[in-house]
Amino acid sequence: MKTAFLQSALLAVAVAACTSKPAEKPELAGTLETVDMGHHPPTVKLPDPEENQGHVGRKPRRITVAQLRESILTTTGRQWSQINALAASLGQPDYALTVSESTEANLVFAKFVEDGAREVCLAVASADLARPNAADRVLFPDVTVANRDFTTMTDDAIKANLSYLSVRFWGQPFAPAERDAWTATFKTVAARAKTINRPEQAWGAMCVAFMTDPRFITY
């Protein structure tokens, strides 16, 4: 009798367990469930910089000439006309006389990257000014100003475009404080560009600043 009772009780519990709904968890916006990775090896945390002579992660590297070529084309849609002619001076090996790529961020590299940035950026800025459809523009796709006068842009519009460009050129957004500094610079640059009637130099100059920044030429 006792055995029959226990069997009935266990059956009742089992049926109840199969038919009951799981308890619902409260929904939290933006939270992620932890995924059990099973056999994934344990990850190693990056060392504390203070315990690693101030370093964290691997050493940054200067981009190669091939990477520079692709980066310029990808970010601006235009190629620097002299990049092949100056490739050897920028560090590209010819595998005849020089067998390893020089990725030294030296004077010659800095000089020629500046030359290239100016050529490409001012050309892109001029082309953008001629594009009636804002979405087709490279340097200021969401900016609409009258009479090519960028001094009329609001701070928010400038910041939004600078953030867009920082992601476009560096793959990372601005820190707010740095963006504010660049915004102030842009306003001065835009005013000067208006004064000298060279509107392409407003965003063109900022493009040069992005392209010659260490974040563009290192990874």
Partner 1 sequence: MSKNSANPALNRRTFMKAASAFAGSTMFGGVSFKAFAQQAQALAPADHCFVFAYFSGGWDQLLNLDPRDPTEFTPERISETRILPGYSLLSQDPSYPTMPIQPPGSNIAFGPAVGNFANHFDVMSVVRGINMNTVAHEVGFRYFLTGKEPNGSAARNSSTATEVVGQMYPKMANKPPVPNLAFNIESYNDRYGGYANALRVSSANDLLLTLSPSPTAIDSEIEKQLLDMRGQPVTCEAQLYDSRGLVTQYQDARKQVRTVLDATLDRYFRFDSTTGDSMAVAMEKSATVARYKLRVGNNGLPNDPRNSSAARAALVATALKKGVSQCVSMNIAGGLDTHFGTQLTQANNQRAGWNALADLISDLKESDHPSGGKFIDHTTIVVFSEFSRTPLINAAGGRDHHITNSCAVIGKGVKHNHVFGASGNVGMASGVVNHDTGLPDPKGYQYLPDHVIATVMAGAGLDYSIMRVEPLKGLLAG
Q: Which stretch binds partner 1 (CB under 8 A): 12-20, 101-109, 127-135, 144-152?
A: 101-109
Note whether 59 binds partner 1 by CB under 8 A.
Answer: yes
Name, in order, each residue with C-beta under 8 angstroms of 72's C-beta and a sequence gap of 6 or more. Answer: 78, 79, 80, 83, 116, 120, 211
Note whether 129 binds partner 1 by CB under 8 A.
Answer: no
Q: Which stretch binds partner 1 (CB under 8 A): 23-31, 33-41, 60-68, 151-159?
A: 60-68
What secondary structure does DSSP assign to 53-106, as a single string? TT--SSPP-B--HHHHHHHHHHHHS---TTTTTTHHHHT---SSS--S------
Q: Are 65 and 90 in contact (CB under 8 A)?
A: yes
For partner 1, the binding residues in 10-49 under the rule CB under 8 A are 49
Q: How far is the CB of 147 from partner 1 (least distance, A)?
A: 19
Note whether 150 binds partner 1 by CB under 8 A.
Answer: no
- Residues within the interface to partner 1 (CB under 8 A): 49, 53-56, 59-62, 88-89, 91, 97-100, 102-112, 114-115, 118-119, 122, 175, 177-178, 181-182, 185, 188-189, 192-193, 196, 198, 201, 204-205, 208-209, 212, 214, 217-218
